[in-house]
Amino acid sequence: MKIFQNFKVRRLLKFFYKFIITIHVFESVPKSESVIKTRSKLFHIFDKKKILKNNIIKNYFKTNNNKKKRFEHSSFIGIIHGKKIVCSGWIHQSKNSRWNIEEIDKKISLKNEKILYDFFTHKEFRNRGYYKLLLKKIQNKSLNKKLIIYTVSNNRFSKKAILHSGFKFKKNLRKFF
């Protein structure tokens, strides 16, 4: 439908969507490292200068160039299988800051927590456990640190993976509640 291709209409729909959507917030404080066996390679990039060292990651940022600015307070983490990034996400690591949950345009205060956001698994690799695997690997790297992750309430696959990777439901958030 051409009506949804119109920028102004999409912007208006996004505005109203923020008032009806609910965000589920989960947290984890991993105490011990879990044993994870995998052939997939984990990468963790803290600096945008490191992008050029790996062609797979360099290609990712060619199509997602606007995400490079996130390196100021975040790091990029993911799983490479073969010659593809199959699952990736971001870790916000700035202490004593405020985080804006864009889906509902609401700010939350962070003290010593790390917030995990913008995770994506490519369609051809979905339902194979890569998202859950990545979350477990992140927990192993962040022992005794509080991790926060959130998802929209209607994303049942994401909620299931988050819960099965060791996170516990903390609360619901809405724009005005």
Q: Is 58 exposed, middle or buried (0-12, 13-18, 19+ CB in 10 A)?
A: exposed
Given a cut of 70, is residue 152 above it in pLDDT?
Answer: yes
CA distance 47 to 38: 26
Q: Which helix (H) or strand (E) holds 99?
A: strand 97-101
Q: Which residue did the predictor score with more confidence, 64 or 149?
A: 149
**CA angle, 124 then 125 then 128, to 5°:** 140
Average pLDDT over residues 143-149: 92
Given a cut of 80, is residue 34 above it in pLDDT?
Answer: no
Mean pLDDT value across the chain: 89
Predicted confidence at residue 92, as pLDDT, reads 94
Average pLDDT over residues 46-64: 87
Contact 148, 114 (CB under 8 A): yes
Given a cut of 70, is residue 4 above it in pLDDT?
Answer: no
Q: Mention every residue, 6+ apart, whose C-beta is less than 8 A from residue 42.
A: 77, 78, 79, 80, 134, 137
Contact 43, 55 (CB under 8 A): no
CA distance 90 to 26: 16
Write out pLDDT tens, residues 78-119: 999 888 999 999 999 887 788 999 899 899 888 889 999 999
Contact 28, 132 (CB under 8 A): no
Average pLDDT over residues 11-28: 88
Taking alpha carbons only, the member of 36, 59, 6, 58 closest to residue 129 is 36
Model confidence at 177, pLDDT cuts 50, 70, 90, reads: low
Q: Which residue did the predictor score with more confidence, 29 or 37?
A: 29
CA distance 30 to 139: 6
Which residues make beta-bridge pairs with 24? 151, 172
Phi, psi of 47 (to 5 degrees): -135, 135
How many Cβ atoms are within 10 Å of 88's Cβ, its own excluded? 24
With tokens 């060619």, the residue in question is 62
Model confidence at 2, pLDDT cuts 50, 70, 90, reads: low
Model confidence at 52, pLDDT cuts 50, 70, 90, reads: confident
